Amino acid sequence: MKKVIVIGNGMVGYKFCEKLVNKANSTDFSIEVFGEEPRPAYDRVHLSEYFGDKSANELLLAPSKWYLENNIKLHTSSLISSIDPSKKEIKTYKNESFTYDYLVIVTGSSPFIPPIKGVEKKGVFVYRTLEDLDAMKSYASKLKSEGKIEAAVLGGGLLGLEAANAAKELGMNTHVIEFAPRLMPRQLDLPASNLLKQKVEAMNIQVHLEKATSEILGENGIESMAFNDNSSLKVDMLIISAGIRPRDELARNSGIKIGERGGIWVNNKMQTSEKDIYAIGEVALYNDGIYGLVAPGYDMANVAVEQITGGDLTMAPSIDMSTQLKLIGTEVASFGDPFIENDEVAVISFENKHKGIYKRINVTKDGKKLLGGILVGDASDYNTLFQLYINAMKLPENPEDLILGARGGEASSVGSVMDFPDSAQICSCESVSKGAICGMIQDETCCSVSDVVKNTKATTGCGGCKPMVVDLVNESLKALGKEVKETLCEHFSYNRQELYDLIKINKITTFNEALNLFGKGNGCETCKPALASLFASIYMETANRQITIQDSNDRFLANIQRNGTYSIVPRVPGGEITPEKLMVLGSVAKKYDLYTKITGGQRIDLFGAELHELPLIWKELIDAGFESGHAYGKSLRTVKSCVGSTWCRYGMHESVSFAIEIENRYRGLRSPHKLKGGVSGCIRECAEARGKDFGLIAVEGGWNLYVCGNGGATPKHAILLAEQLDDETCIKYLDRFLMFYIRTAAPLTRTAPWLEKLDGGIEYLKKVVIEDCLGIAEELEKEMQGLVNQYECEWKQAIEDPEMMKRFKHFVNSNDTDNNIEYVPLREQKMPKAWR
Average per-residue pLDDT for the chain: 91
Q: Tens digits of per-residue pLDDT, 694-716?
A: 999 999 999 999 999 988 767 88
Same domain, 230 and 134: yes
Evaluated on CA atoms 289, 293, 299, 304, the torsion sign reads positive
Same domain, 719 and 783: yes
Mean pLDDT across 490-504: 92
Find all residues with CB under 8 Å of 403, minimum gap 6, and list them.
348, 349, 350, 359, 360, 361, 373, 381
The Cα 81–Cα 249 span in angstroms is 10
Per-residue pLDDT at 412: 42
Q: Tell me, letter by letter, the H, E, C secondary structure of 507-547.
A: CCCCHHHHHHHHECCCCCCCHHHHHHHHHHHHHCCCCCCCH
Query: Is pLDDT at 37 greater than 80 in this prediction?
Result: yes
Domain annotation covers residue 389: no
Choose the final residue of a domain: 261, 279, 308: 308
Same domain, 229 and 255: no
CATH code of the domain in which 79 resides: 3.50.50.60
| pLDDT band at residue 798 under the 50/70/90 scheme | very high
Q: Tens digits of per-residue pLDDT, 572-614?
A: 999 999 999 999 999 999 999 999 999 989 999 999 999 999 9
Mean pLDDT across 240-250: 93
Mean pLDDT across 200-211: 92
Query: Is pLDDT at 145 greater than 70 in this prediction?
Result: yes
Query: Is pLDDT at 818 greater than 80 in this prediction?
Result: no
Query: Is pLDDT at 44 greater than 50 in this prediction?
Result: yes
Between 408 and 51, the more confident residue is: 51
Same domain, 795 and 754: yes
The Cα 417–Cα 415 span in angstroms is 7
Q: Tens digits of per-residue pLDDT, 608-663?
A: 999 999 999 999 999 999 999 999 999 999 999 999 999 999 999 999 999 999 99
CATH code of the domain in which 755 resides: 3.30.413.10
Per-residue pLDDT at 292: 85
Q: How many domains does the chain have?
A: 4
Burial class (CB in 10 A: 0-12, 13-18, 19+), 688: middle
State the DSSP H helix or E strand holding residue 769, giving kind and residue range, or none if neither: helix 761-769
Query: Phi, psi at residue 299, to the nearest 5°?
Result: -60, -40
Between 76 and 465, the more confident residue is: 76
Same domain, 257 and 227: no
Q: Tell me, letter by letter, the H, E, C secondary structure of 753-764.
A: HHHHHCCCHHHH
Query: Is pLDDT at 23 greater than 70 in this prediction?
Result: yes
Domain annotation covers residue 404: no
Per-residue pLDDT at 52: 64
Per-residue pLDDT at 414: 53
Choose the final residue of a domain: 242, 259, 291: 242
Mean pLDDT across 451-466: 80
Per-residue pLDDT at 835: 58
Q: How many CB atoms lie within 10 A of CB 63?
A: 12
Same domain, 154 and 302: no
Owning domain of residue 748: 635-805
Domain annotation covers residue 13: yes
Between 500 and 425, the more confident residue is: 500
Query: Is pLDDT at 836 greater than 70 in this prediction?
Result: no
Domain annotation covers residue 369: no
Q: Is the pTM of this model over 0.85?
A: no
Mean pLDDT across 396-422: 69
Same domain, 21 and 46: yes
- CA-to-CA dists, residue 593 to 13, 589, 616, 736, 831, angstroms: 57, 6, 13, 43, 11
Same domain, 105 and 77: yes
Domain annotation covers residue 684: yes
Mean pLDDT across 511-532: 92
Domain annotation covers residue 566: no
Same domain, 681 and 720: yes
Same domain, 707 and 756: yes
Q: Tens digits of per-residue pLDDT, 311-355?
A: 999 998 888 788 877 777 788 999 999 998 888 999 999 988 877
Per-residue pLDDT at 799: 95
N-terminal to C-terminal alpha carbon distance within the chain: 55
Degrees to nearest 5, angle at CA 834 with 133 and 235: 55
Query: Phi, psi at residue 176, to the nearest 5°?
Result: -110, 125
Between 45 and 401, the more confident residue is: 401
Q: Tell me, letter by letter, the H, E, C secondary structure of 260-274.
A: CCCCEECCCCCECCC
Across 262-276, 380-394, 411-425, 533-547, least confident range: 411-425
Per-residue pLDDT at 410: 40
- Mark 344-358 as b/e (b = at least 16 C-beta within 10 Å): eeeebbbbeeeebbb
Per-residue pLDDT at 53: 61
Same domain, 81 and 207: no
Same domain, 691 and 781: yes
Q: How many CB atoms lie within 10 A of CB 620?
A: 15
Domain annotation covers residue 270: yes
| pLDDT band at residue 409 under the 50/70/90 scheme | very low
Mean pLDDT across 261-266: 95
